[in-house]
Amino acid sequence: MKRRHFLQASAAAVVPSVSSAQVAPVATRVIDTHTHFYDPTRAQGVPWPAAGSKLYRKVMPSDWRALALPLGVKETVIVEASPWVEDNQWILDLAVQEKCIVGFVGNLDPNDPDYAANLKRFAANPIFRGVRWRADWVKIADQKEAILAGAKALADHGLELDLNGPPEILPHAAALAAKVPDLRIVINHLGSSGDPQSLKPGWKENIKLVAAQKNVWMKVSALVEQVKGPEGQAPREVEYYLPILDHLWQCFGADRLIYGSNWPVSDRGASYDIVFGLVRDYFSSKGRDACESYFWKNSQAAYHWIER
């Protein structure tokens, strides 16, 4: 029996179906904790994505809902990719009308002299749940006082830190987590594992290292984008991704893995329904409690998103 068929059979007692072609109530709630919304048609344009790319188009919550709602995904936490300070406010203004947005991870540079003031300003809005930093900032956190102070400020405001970067960042993330134990840290995009069948050097060892810090969560996002091959044609069989998923499960367990799609960037690997179906298949095989934890409870613990 193929591994995918085994996973589907073992999940049959938990959910009616785990086929990606049919919606299955894997959990009572699903929070997609990694979406991007932006509007290149604004007068000021956008700093990302680049003009001419397939991502360079107006992407709004209504576009995401059209894909997510049929799968039972009704709420999201946005992660800001733009470094422009006022784009944080743009998303917060958008959230006033868009009740599907239960949280927002902003983008602020801890090296900016106005970082503390900007953080205080945005933290006053309950939708604002944290910030995402670049990998190179975390690498020098033990050398630059402003960065460590920026991390402590996040903890003081009850906010979290999203981190995105190569596997080499993970030891630095572990060190930061140890230095600021009150700070909740969410590693984005599998810790940049690489293709499941050709993992990046050091990824497995560094995952174990960062997972040892209990204030660190792992976002199972960008799964299909890691695959080498033609754009939009990532494998649809869950067994292809087991070298990543099994290792993360072993290291982080049921309580510190979080669902995120990385839409619309995820379209580079596969469509939204395929992205969702892969993790639905995998976590369904772990039982109903694991699904409840992965699809929404763990994200509440990490992000402290709000009820709308």
- Residue 17's pLDDT is 34
Round the CA-based radius of gyration of the chain to a whole number and report it: 18
Residue 245 CB neighbour total at 10 angstroms: 23
Average pLDDT over residues 43-51: 96
- Residue 51's pLDDT is 94
- Residue 24's pLDDT is 52
- The letter for the amino acid at 145 is E
How confident is the model over 252-297, as pLDDT tens digits?
A: 999 999 999 999 999 999 999 999 999 999 999 999 999 999 999 9
Residue 13 CB neighbour total at 10 angstroms: 8
Sketch out the chain's domains with CATH numbers: 30-303 (3.20.20.140)
Instruction: Round to whole Å and give the CA distance between 15 and 290.
Output: 13
- Kindly state the tokens that stand for 204: 């497995």
- Of the pLDDT bands very low, low, confident and very high (cuts 50, 70, 90), residue 219 is very high
- pLDDT exceeds 90 at position 1: no
How confident is the model over 224-251, as pLDDT tens digits?
A: 999 999 999 999 999 999 999 999 999 9
User: What average pLDDT does the chain have?
Assistant: 92
- pLDDT exceeds 80 at position 16: no
- Residue 144's pLDDT is 81
- Of the pLDDT bands very low, low, confident and very high (cuts 50, 70, 90), residue 114 is very high
Report how far apart, in Å, the C-alpha atoms of 235 and of each of 242, 260, 287 are.
12, 18, 24
- pLDDT exceeds 50 at position 25: yes
Query: What angle is formed at CA 79 by the lines to CA 50 and CA 134, rounded to 5 degrees?
Result: 70
- The letter for the amino acid at 17 is S
- Residue 137's pLDDT is 86
- Of the pLDDT bands very low, low, confident and very high (cuts 50, 70, 90), residue 145 is confident
Q: Where are the alpha helices (DSSP H) in the chain?
A: 3-11, 61-68, 86-97, 115-123, 135-139, 145-156, 169-179, 203-211, 242-252, 272-284, 288-292, 298-303
